[in-house]
Structure 1
C-alpha cells in the first residue's frame, strides 16, 4: 500500500506503462505468429498473392515494433534484431 502521494502516482504510472507494454508486445507476438503461418503457406504454394500478403504482414509488424520502440517498449537494438530476423526468414524462402 502506498504511504504518500508520490508513491500512489508511481503505482498509477507503472500500471499505465504495463498496459501499454502489454499491448505492443502481445500485438507483435500475434502478428509474428500469423507471419509464420502464412510463411508456411507460401513455402508450399509459391503464389505471388501469398508473398504480397507476407509483405503486408511484415510491414505491419515493422510498424508495431517501431511504434513500440518510440514509446520505449522495445530497446532499439531489440527492435532491429526482431526486424532483421523476420526479413531473413522471408528472404530465405
Structure 2
C-alpha cells in the first residue's frame, strides 16, 4: 500500500479507470454479439442496424485505446464479410 499522497491518488484513479475500461469493453462485446445474433437469425434489416452500432463501438474503442487499431480493423472486416454473405 502506498504511503505517499500522490501514489495513493494514483491507485484510486487507476482503479476507477480500470472499472470504466471494463464496462466499455463489456458494452463493446455486447454490441458485437447482438450483430452476430442478427446474422445467425438471417434478419438482414436487424443485422444492418446492429452492424452500424457495432462498427461505431469498435471505432470508439480503438480511439480510446481499448483496442489496438489493427484489432479494430480486423473486427470490422470480419463483420463486413459476415454482413455481405447474408445478402
Q: Structure 2 CA distance, aligned partners of 1:77 and 1:16?
A: 27
Tell me if 1:90 matches 2:83: yes
Counterpart in the other structure of 1:64: 57
Q: Structure 1 CA distance, aligned partners of 2:39 and 2:57?
A: 19
Give the conservation status (yes or no) of the 8 Å contact 1:69–1:79. yes
Instruction: Give ranges in structure 1 of 5+ residues lacking alignment.
Output: 43-49
CA RMSD, Structure 1 to Structure 2 (Å):
1.4
Counterpart in the other structure of 2:36: 36
Q: Structure 1 CA distance, aligned partners of 2:64 and 2:32?
A: 20
Counterpart in the other structure of 2:27: 27
Q: Name the SS for the 2:65 alignment partner.
A: coil
Counterpart in the other structure of 2:2: 2
Give the conservation status (yes or no) of the 8 Å contact 1:35–1:54. yes
Give the conservation status (yes or no) of the 8 Å contact 1:24–1:64. no
Tell me which stretches of 4 or more aligned residues in structure 1 moved more than 6 Å.
none
* CA-CA distance at 1:54 after TM superposition: 0.7
Instruction: Give ranges in structure 2 of 5+ residues lacking alignment.
Output: none
TM-score with structure 2 setting the length: 0.85
TM-score with structure 1 setting the length: 0.80
